[in-house]
Amino acid sequence: MPITDRTAIVTGAGSTRGIGRATAHALAAAGWHLAVLDLDEAGAKESADQVAHRHGVQAFGLGCDVTDESSVKAALAYLDSAAPPAGALVNNAGITSPVPFLQVTGAEWDRIFAVNVRGAYNITRRVAAGMAGRGFGRIVFLSSVSAERGGGVFGGVAYSAAKAAQLGFARALARELGPAGVTVNAVAPGLIDTDITGGALDEEHRARLLEAIPAGRTGRVEDVADLIAYLCREESGYITGATYDVNGGSHIH
Ligand code: NAD
């Protein structure tokens, strides 16, 4: 079945300037039908409408809280009845937190893990089963350079730990699902120009970070989206269990 008969599910693709939305566009441009799932239902619908309008594919925008199993179940049940089968899943929904470790409460720790790790589990567990049954799938996790270098950008210990958990998640899942034709990879972006920090990254901090980026600029959402679309291609089937850096050279290892 060519990808033009399949749906790519992108979580957290509602935000206007986010990596998820750019990824939805890149995947639709490659022929995928799209399902945009986001906590922000209006954003998800607007994003899906934009994708369908611009690329002429089917696009579904659904309100969904990935931390809530029943919400994930309902969204996937709807897609099962209305959309072509899922061929790709991009675990993009994520939240960050700069709180220094000695001030991190248990509730804050759980909040960060709930979206980045448990949320990815809630949806991957269900979508992967169908992919394995059909013998084809592409799963991509949005980890972060913070997982690799131990913070040092914006997110603190909780965020770095959650993003590192995603790397282990992706690698172990790649091993299990390889025989079923499902690849699982992670991308690790550096500082990408989006609204995830909610305006909390001040100019001085940003300038300091910029000095350490050999490419001389922050990343664009398209820099990450293009890579994800590449990993989701049918022809990328021999790439699995890998982590791809998109950080302008800010972390070379
Ligand atoms: P963003 O804030 O623009 O987008 C995140 C989206 O996730 C939002 O639309 C939000 O509504 C959604 N979301 C949050 N909680 C959710 C939940 N419980 N259920 C469903 N949706 C939920 O952020 P972004 O910068 O585009 O980040 C996308 C991903 O990339 C995140 O996982 C982030 O950690 C990762 N990342 C970002 C950067 C960066 O510099 N921007 C760097 C490395 C990794």
Indicate the domain borders of the chain.
3-189+221-242
Distance, CA of 78 to CA of 148 (rounded, Å): 37
pLDDT in the model for residue 148: 98
Consecutive 10-residue averages of pLDDT for the chain (253 residues): 91 98 98 98 98 98 98 98 98 97 98 98 98 98 98 96 98 98 98 92 92 97 98 98 98 96
Q: Are 49 and 61 within 8 A, CB to CB?
A: yes
| Closest atom of ligand 1 relative to the 143 alpha carbon | 44
What is the helix, strand, coil percentage profile of the chain, to 5?
A: 50, 15, 35
Alpha helices by DSSP H, listed for the chain, are 19-29, 41-55, 69-82, 106-113, 119-134, 145-149, 157-177, 203-211, 221-231
Residue of 19, 153, 213 best suited for mutating to test ligand 1, as the one with most atoms within 8 Å of CB: 19
pLDDT in the model for residue 3: 77
67 within ligand 1 shell (Cβ under 6 A): yes
CATH number of 3-189+221-242: 3.40.50.720
182 within ligand 1 shell (Cβ under 6 A): no
pTM: 0.98
pLDDT in the model for residue 2: 81
